[in-house]
Amino acid sequence: MTHTQTVADAILRILASHGVRFAFGIPGVHNLAFWKSDVEGAPRIINVRHEQSAVYAADGLARTTGGIGVALTTTGPGAANTLGAFGEAAISRSPLLVISSEAPIGFRTKGIYRGYLHEMGDQASLFAPLAKVTVSGFPLAKSATTASEAIGFLEELIAEIMKAPTGAGYLGIPADILSAHFEGKLDTPTVSSDPHIKFDGLSELIRTSERVIFWVGGGATGVDLEIARLSELFKAPIITTFAGRGIGASSRFSLEIPVHEPETGELLASAELLLIMGSQFDGMNTKNWSIKLPPKVAVIDAAPELIQRNTKIDIAIKANLKSVLLETLFSLEEKDEWVDVASINKKARARIASTPEGIAGMALVDAIDRSWPDEGRIVLDMCIAGYWSGGYARGKRARRMAYPVGWGTLGFALPSSIGAAIDGTATLVVAGDGGIAFALSELATLVQESLPVTILLHDDGGYGMLRYDQKVMNAPERGVDLVNPNWRLLAESFGVSFKDTNLK
């Protein structure tokens, strides 16, 4: 259908056609066309207090729903403020798009800095080193110079960031083009299907292996139930990465301890065949590739070449993980049970809870497991409480938990809860006093949007994990102790209820 509209209107229509209901951002003098728009059915723009928070919120939405996370920023410093959060989303493979205004094209002289407000030479180059790279080798970070380019680039970016493995991209649009009229046809998105994939080699490998074990990453969230069924069929324990927590949780063979615990390592080493699905097999999840693997390794992934950089693979199937793709494997014979996963879970968790380091940590984890509803979401920060929750809280379902171990960014949890809770789903923030300080102003956003967010704040007077590291290294404790506000007064000043547990 042809519309008379601004470029900003057209962009919002396209986003809506791809199922985007919410975007996050801050209005600026150059991007006001987005806020001026009255397009029916357009994504509702949620005003946050910092551009980095806008991207974290978009990332939180993407991780917990699987939809496209969208952040809208203004030119120059507004765009630059997003980079830490953009890097976390990009490395964690969140389907995320930053759309920013850029200096008006009409005021620019190529190669010459004129001093126009927020001007910079190549704004897209800020994002290029982190953005998803296409199969042809080009980063998904583009600046448009015309209205038709802006629309075309947007459609291309959406298609590319949603292709498995998903990723993050950037679109920059000059302010004068953003508010200009656009008359053109907006295409309705089409859904393509994978070609038929042959599983003959993998089927034979599974058929001839008595002890099969699964390694499942965040790229497999769409086949959660299928993986649980295959696990039951092959009696295959399921090891999940941090991004894959909760996938296959309905199987009685789902492992409830992380890979760095000795019980997991022993189980992995005792298997005959490791089947990796939807994981990059990265250093953070593999103890920097030091774990001992079974003699045979197979992969089903959209980008198995990423795994081949890190470990030897016997069979690699390059394909998007979809339910129809796995149906062939359900025709294989049922295998005999070779390990009691429930017993391993119980004994390992009891062992950890009995250690001096694990008493308090596992008590926290058990409290969250008991009290937080299964349908609720949990967003974690890089902090001691987050480490315990991210590693040991039971993964009750896919996409329940978001943990920033892609790039390891501190300050993720509070702003990402905006995106996780924006659809009305109860969301728990687990944060430390250091990380939450990065975005305390977003308490105002939570209140303004009446979001169902509960914050579990661990105040140990500073950067507790770094303090511990300094002790281990026999180094002086420097830079790790913090002056904190009166949390009750701070919370109540925003109209947030407060409870001090004072647990020792």
Per-residue pLDDT reduced to its tens digit, 58-115: 999 999 999 999 999 999 999 999 999 999 999 999 999 999 999 888 666 666 665 6
Q: Is residue 76 part of a domain?
A: yes
Residue 170: φ, ψ to 5°: -130, 140
Q: Is residue 504 part of a domain?
A: no
Residue 424: how many other CB atoms lie within 10 Å: 9
End-of-domain residue from the set 162, 185, 208: 185
**Kind of pairing, strands 453-458 and 427-432?**
parallel
Residues 381, 464: one domain?
Answer: yes
Helix ranges (DSSP H) in 18-146: 32-36, 51-65, 77-80, 83-91
Residue 136: how many other CB atoms lie within 10 Å: 5
Instruction: Give the structural domain span for 235.
Output: 200-342
Prediction pTM value: 0.91
Q: Is residue 190 part of a domain?
A: no
Torsion of CA 198, 201, 204, 210, to 10 degrees: -110
Dist. CA 261–CA 348, nearest whole Å? 8
Q: Is residue 370 part of a domain?
A: yes
- Give residue-wise pLDDT tens across range 29-49: 899 999 998 889 999 999 999
SS3 of 403-437: the string is CCCCCCCCCCHHHHHHHHHCCCCCEEEEEEHHHHH
Residues 328, 417: one domain?
Answer: no
The total domain count for the chain is: 3
* Distance set, CA 416 to CA 132, 235, 261, 397 (Å): 21, 36, 28, 19
Residues 269, 417: one domain?
Answer: no
Q: How far apart are the first and last CA of the chain?
A: 64
Q: Is residue 503 part of a domain?
A: no
Residues 68, 143: one domain?
Answer: yes
Residue 198: φ, ψ to 5°: -90, 130
Dist. CA 171–CA 163, nearest whole Å? 17
Residues 215 and 294: beta-carbon distance below 8 Å: no
**Res 180 pLDDT > 80:** yes
Instruction: Look at residue 54 and give its three-state secondary structure.
Output: helix
Least confident span in 182-196, 258-272, 393-407, 432-446: 182-196
Residues 181, 204: one domain?
Answer: no
Residues with Cβ < 8 Å from 200, sequence gap 6 or more? Answer: none
What CATH number has the domain bearing residue 302? 3.40.50.1220
- Give residue-wise pLDDT tens across range 468-486: 889 889 999 999 999 999 9
Dist. CA 159–CA 221, nearest whole Å? 19
Residues 474, 387: one domain?
Answer: yes
For residue 291, the Cα-to-chain-centroid distance in whole angstroms is 24
What pLDDT is stored for residue 115 in this prediction? 66
Residues 50, 128: one domain?
Answer: yes
Residues 72, 149: one domain?
Answer: yes
Amino acid identity, residue 478? R
Closest CA to 330 of 227, 218, 244: 227
Q: What is the CA radius of gyration of the chain?
A: 24
Q: Is residue 462 part of a domain?
A: yes
As a whole number, the mean pLDDT across the chain is: 91
End-of-domain residue from the set 185, 217, 238: 185
Q: Is residue 135 part of a domain?
A: yes
What pLDDT is stored for residue 112 in this prediction? 63
Residue 133: φ, ψ to 5°: -105, 135
Q: Is residue 349 part of a domain?
A: no
* Side-chain half-sphere CA neighbours of 385 within 13 A: 26
Residues with Cβ < 8 Å from 187, sequence gap 6 or more? Answer: 155
Residues 430, 403: one domain?
Answer: yes
Dist. CA 429–CA 446, nearest whole Å? 12
Give the residue with greater pLDDT, 199 vs 465.
465
Give the DSSP letter of residue 137.
S
- CB neighbour class for 353 (10 Å; exposed up to 12, middle 13-18, buried from 19): middle
End-of-domain residue from the set 136, 159, 185: 185
- Give residue-wise pLDDT tens across range 382-431: 999 999 999 999 989 999 999 999 898 999 999 999 999 999 999 999 99
Residues 24, 141: one domain?
Answer: yes
Residues 337, 457: one domain?
Answer: no
Q: What is the mean pLDDT of residues 255-265?
A: 94
What CATH number has the domain bearing residue 441? 3.40.50.970
Residues 320, 368: one domain?
Answer: no
